[in-house]
Amino acid sequence: DAGVTQSPTHLIKTRGQQVTLRCSPKSGHDTVSWYQQALGQGPQFIFQYYEEEERQRGNFPDRFSGHQFPNYSSELNVNALLLGDSALYLCASSIGPNTEAFFGQGTRLTVV
């Protein structure tokens, strides 16, 4: 049983560029949440998608946007990258919005 898979695993981008990160949820899961984790910090909630709609959004600017596809996979897009966007981006999936969330291995984004 494949768990949550994220791609790519590492990414280096230049300030001002745009990036798209991808997530495939665990088999049987229909809800995807995205988190940003800076070094030495706990994950910070970006947003959650359920039934292809954004259900809740954390305290992140509009430069962060997302999408969920009919097969429940999801994308996170970040525009106009800043140096401060460098972090580990985590995708978590669950069965519905309020059950245990299982995380992928993350995408390490470095903005230079």
Partner 1 sequence: EDQVTQSPEALRLQEGESSSLNCSYTVSGLRGLFWYRQDPGKGPEFLFTLYSAGEEKEKERLKATLTKKESFLHITAPKPEDSATYLCAVQDSGAGSYQLTFGKGTKLSVIP
Out of 2, 28, 40, 83, the only residue in the binding site for partner 1 (CB under 8 A) is: 40
Q: For partner 1, which stretch binds (CB under 8 A), given 14-22, 63-71, 77-85, 101-109?
A: 101-109
Tokens standing for residue 20: 């798209």
User: Residue 23, Cα to own-chain centre: how many angstroms?
Assistant: 7
Choices 14-22, 66-74, 75-83, 85-93 (CB under 8 A): range interacting with partner 1: 85-93
Of 35 and 85, CB closest to partner 1:
35
Q: Which CB, 45 or 67, lies closer to partner 1? A: 45
Q: Which stretch binds partner 1 (CB under 8 A): 11-19, 33-41, 68-76, 78-86?
A: 33-41
Instruction: Tell me how far apart the alpha carbons of residues 86 and 29 are, in angstroms, rounded to a whole number.
Output: 28
Q: 3-class DSSP state for residue 7?
A: strand
Q: Which residues contact 40 (CB under 8 A, 6 or more apart)?
A: none
Query: Does the N-terminal peptide bond of residue 8 adopt cis geometry, omega within 30 degrees of 0?
Result: yes
Residue 41 in contact with partner 1, rule: CB under 8 A: yes
Neighbouring residues of 71: CB distance < 8 A, sequence distance ≥ 6 = none
Q: Which residues contribute to the site for partner 1 (CB under 8 A)? A: 4, 6, 33, 35, 40-45, 48, 50, 55-56, 58, 88, 90, 92, 97-98, 100-106, 108
